[in-house]
C-alpha cells in the first residue's frame, strides 16, 4: 500500500510507494488515480506528463503559473534532486513557506504539490531524470519565475556555488514583484 507523509506545508505531501524487490529487481505502482485521490483526499485529474534531464548542479526554477496554476506529482527515475515547493496560496496558513526534500531513484518518493505552488529543484547527482504529472497544461504566457535565491523566501539550497542556471531563470524576479 502506498503511504502519504504530511509535510510542514499545508496540503503538500510526500508519496511513498510500496516497492516489491527481489533478486530480479523491483516493481512498484508509481500512480493509481483511485489510490492517490483517496490518500490525499481530493479528486485530482492529471492532463500532462513531463520529463526533464539535468546535469549536476543544474538549478531549475522557481516556476509557477499564476492564472492557470499546476498541481504536480514529481518523481525521479534516475539520480538525486533536492526538490522545492513554495506555497503561493494567499489564503493558506503556510503562505510563502517552502519545503525541500531529496527525491531519488533509490528512495522512489514522490512529492505532491497542489495547484498554487512555485516549484524548483537542483540536481545533486551526476545526472538526474525527473518525471512529473501536471493538473493543468503548460502555458508559456502564464509562466513566471521567482529568483532562486529570493531573500523573502530564503530557501536553504544544499548547493550555492558552481550552479548552472538558465538565462530565463537568472532573470527571475523577487516574490514581492508578484504578490
Closest by CA position to 47, among listed 17, 71, 66, 11:
71
Given the residues 31, 51, 95, 132, select the one marked as catalytic: 132
Annotation says 132 is catalytic: yes
* Peptide bond just before 62 cis, omega within 30 deg: yes
Instruction: Give me 171's grid cell.
Output: 532573470
Rg (alpha carbons) of the chain, rounded to whole number: 16
Q: DSSP assignment of 65-133, as one string?
A: ESSS---EEEEEEESEEEEEEEE--TTSTTTT-EEEEEEETTT--EEEE-SSEEEEEEE-SSEEEEEEE
Residue in the structure block whose three cell numbers are 489510490:
35
Q: Is 22 exposed, middle or buried (0-12, 13-18, 19+ CB in 10 A)?
A: exposed
Closest by CA position to 118, among listed 36, 15, 8, 12:
12
Given the residues 31, 63, 95, 144, select the one marked as catalytic: 63
Annotation says 95 is catalytic: no
Catalytic residues: 63, 132
Amino acid at each position: 500500500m502506498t503511504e502519504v507523509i504530511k509535510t510542514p506545508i499545508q496540503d503538500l505531501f510526500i508519496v511513498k510507494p510500496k516497492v516489491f524487490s527481489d533478486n530480479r529487481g523491483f516493481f512498484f505502482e508509481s500512480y493509481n488515480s483511485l489510490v492517490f485521490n483517496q490518500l490525499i483526499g481530493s479528486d485530482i485529474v492529471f492532463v500532462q506528463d513531463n520529463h526533464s534531464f539535468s546535469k549536476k548542479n543544474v538549478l531549475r526554477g522557481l516556476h509557477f503559473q499564476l492564472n492557470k496554476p499546476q498541481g504536480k506529482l514529481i518523481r525521479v527515475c534516475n539520480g538525486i534532486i533536492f526538490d522545492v515547493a513554495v506555497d503561493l496560496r494567499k489564503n493558506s496558513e503556510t503562505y510563502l513557506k517552502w519545503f525541500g526534500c531529496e527525491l531519488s531513484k533509490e528512495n522512489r518518493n514522490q512529492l505532491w504539490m497542489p495547484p498554487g505552488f512555485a516549484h524548483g529543484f537542483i540536481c545533486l547527482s551526476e545526472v538526474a531524470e525527473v518525471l512529473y504529472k501536471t493538473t493543468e497544461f503548460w502555458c508559456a504566457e502564464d509562466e513566471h519565475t521567482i529568483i532562486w535565491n529570493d531573500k523573502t523566501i530564503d530557501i536553504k539550497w544544499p548547493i550555492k556555488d558552481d550552479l548552472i542556471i538558465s538565462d530565463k531563470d537568472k532573470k527571475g524576479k523577487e516574490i514581492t514583484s508578484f504578490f
